Structure 1
Amino acid sequence: MKAIFPGSFDPITNGHLDIIKRAARLFDQVIIVISKNTHKNGLFLPTQRYQLVKEAVQNIKNVEVKLVQTDLTINLVHKFKADVIVRGARNSQDFIYEQQIALMNKRMDPTVETIILFATPECSYISSSLIREISSFNGKVANVVPKNVNQALLKNQSNSKQEINNET
Structure 2
Amino acid sequence: MKVAVYPGTFDPLTLGHVDIIRRGAHLVDKLVVGVTTNPSKEPMFSVAERLEMVRREIAEIPGNIDVVEFDSLLMEFAEEQGATAILRGLRAVADFEYEFQMAGMNQQLNDDIETVFLMADVSLQPIASKLVKEIARYGGSIDKFVPSAVAEDVRRHLGAGSR
1:62 counterpart residue number: 64
**Residue aligning to 2:79:** 78
Structure 1 segments, 4+ long, off by >2 Å, are none
SS of the aligned residue for 2:154 comes to: helix
Q: Quick one: distance in 2 between partners of 1:46 and 1:138?
A: 24
Distance in 2 (CA, whole Å) between partners of 1:67 and 1:157 is: 24
Give the partner amino acid of 1:125.
P
Contact 1:142–1:150 (Cα < 8 Å) also in 2: yes
Q: Answer with 1 or 2: which has the greater Rg.
A: 1
Corresponding residue number in structure 1 for 2:111:
110
> Contact 1:138–1:157 at 8 Å: present in 2 too?
no
TM-score, length basis structure 1: 0.92
Distance in 1 (alpha carbons) for counterparts of 2:68 and 2:148: 21
Q: Supply the distance in 1 between the matched residues of 2:130 and 2:100 (Cα, whole angstroms).
A: 21
State the alpha-carbon separation in 2 of the partners of residues 38 and 81 from structure 1: 25
Q: Distance in 1 between matches of 2:156 and 2:122?
A: 30
Gaps of 5+ in 1: none
- What percentage of aligned pairs have identical amino acids? 32
Aligned to 2:22: 21
Match of 1:46 in 2: 47
1:157 positional shift = 2.4
- Gap regions ≥5 residues in structure 2: none
Q: CA RMSD in A?
A: 1.3
Asked if the contact 1:23/1:30 (under 8 Å) is kept, the reply is yes
Give the secondary-structure state (helix, strand or coil) at the position aligned to 1:116: strand
Q: Distance in 1 between matches of 2:155 and 2:51?
A: 18
- What amino acid is the match of 1:51? E
Q: After the TM superposition, which residues 1-168 of structure 1 pair with which residues of structure 2 at under 5 Å, given as runs?
A: 1-60=2-61, 61-68=63-70, 70-160=71-161
SS at match of 1:155: helix
Contact 1:14–1:145 (CA under 8 A) maintained in structure 2: yes
Is 53-62 or 126-135 further displaced after alignment?
53-62
SS at the partner of 2:20?
helix
What residue identity is the alignment partner of 1:150? A
